[in-house]
Amino acid sequence: MKTIVLAGRRLFMKWDNIAYFEERAKEANAAIVPVRSEDENDFRSAVKDASAIIVIAKTISREAIESLSRCELILTLSVGHDCVDVNAATKRGIPVSNVPAYCTDDVANHSMSLLMAVARKLTLLNHETKHTRWDYNVAKPIYTFRGKCLGLIGLGKIGRAIVPKAKGLGMQVAAYDPYVHDDIFQLLDVKREYELNEMLKNSDYISIHAPLTPETYHLLDKKALGLLRKHVVIVNTSRGNIIDEQALYESLKSGRVAGAGIDVMSSEPPDESFSLLYLDNALVTPHIAWYSEESLERVRIQGMDETVNVLNGKRPRYIVNPEVFGFSNTD
Ligand code: NAD
């Protein structure tokens, strides 16, 4: 019988009860092997002969991939697949899939919620009104959204879902995404910025929706943050390491950046020393932008559809390394 390994602390945080996965695995004549231990050796010995591996935010290293004997699929039950060494999987001819669009609208809504809550200083006002005083002066200055520019880093599924929401508030939208064709910008009526620095200089709000890659690692570093308009608000629901968190902390502390809405961190959960936790102008949420009851349901259905199909000999639908079948993502 084939085995499907489920692993990663976050997967079991979402589903302590794995009956759904066990039931669906039967469609591929497979059994689920849950690996709840965080020990890498336990994980390695469980995946060695597995036919499929399903994880959330669990690192699957080159070494682990090289030890696999009969793996037909590595699946991340998430949009981001930066936890998997995709190059190593491609070299071994192992398809890697994600679940690309189960939560697009929820992430767009969470991003806009962070943006509006930070710009309207809701957490400060809530705290002051309940515990201290009835005085709006404490929140000054607050600026209007209408006529202001939202700069998007990444105009993929989530970036595109944000556009009508921002326009509904009367904002102009610009985006930096070197991999999207002009016609998409035209269709959405979004100003194309060919240079990230130009967009940073011209935006009142910045929202990040690019994947974490070697190219986007610390894309917003000290130098880039130094280009921003004073009073800018930054939202990051993408991946923590796209911003240099220490540089962001210094910009927020000095007031150079007015506020930040942060759903993702370089290390999750953050330890007590994570400096953004201690700033009033940083609103922090626990990597929850994806969540709604509907998304939670959708991700496991789509993930298990993909796994069952692949183990039954079909092509993966959500493949991120089509090179293993002789295609590239631009074919
Ligand atoms: P997507 O693949 O549809 O879009 C990503 C876009 O980023 C693409 O258009 C791509 O061209 C662009 N991009 C790639 N490199 C870039 C670069 N160097 N500069 C600017 N743009 C670049 O993905 P999506 O569905 O929009 O998701 C975006 C990211 O959001 C995911 O990669 C994931 O990390 C994150 N995410 C977070 C949560 C959460 O709960 N916080 C949930 C889902 C997704």
In this structure, the answer to whether residues 28 and 151 fall within a common structural domain is no
Ligand 1 contact via 239 beta carbon (within 6 Å): yes
Domain that holds residue 191: 104-284
What are 35's strand-pairing partners? 7
Which atom of ligand 1 is least distant from the CA of 215?
Answer: 18
Tokens encoding 326: 């002789």
At 143-171, the pLDDT tens digits run 999 999 999 999 999 999 999 999 999 99
Catalytic-residue membership of 231: no
**Per DSSP, what are the bridge partners of residue 31?**
3
* Residue 87, both tokens: 């190059």
Of the residues 24, 81, 209, 239, only one is catalytic, namely: 239
Which pLDDT score is estimated for 59?
A: 95
Average pLDDT, the chain: 96
* Residue 14 pLDDT > 80: yes
Q: Are residues 180 and 194 in the same domain?
A: yes
> Does 331 map to a domain?
no
- The pTM score is 0.95
Mark whether 89 and 109 lie in a shared domain: no
CA angle 99, 105, 106 (to 5 degrees): 85
Residues 24, 312: Cα–Cα separation, whole Å: 12
User: What DSSP state is assigned to residue 24?
Assistant: H
213 falls within a domain: yes
Answer yes or no: do 128 and 272 share one domain.
yes
Q: At what angle do helices 104-119 and 157-168 cross, to 10 degrees?
A: 50
Q: Is residue 176 part of a domain?
A: yes
pLDDT of 328 reads 74
pLDDT digits (tens, 9 = 90+) for 176-210: 999 999 999 999 999 999 999 999 999 999 999 99
Query: Is residue 70 within 8 Å of residue 49, measured between CB atoms?
Result: yes
Alpha-carbon torsion (129, 135, 136, 137), positive or negative: negative
Q: Are residues 109 and 96 in the same domain?
A: no
User: Which of 176, 180, 209 should be mutated for ligand 1, with most atoms under 8 A from CB?
Assistant: 209
- Do residues 56 and 148 share a domain? no
> Is 240's C-beta closer than 6 angstroms to any atom of ligand 1?
no
Q: How many domains does the chain have?
A: 2
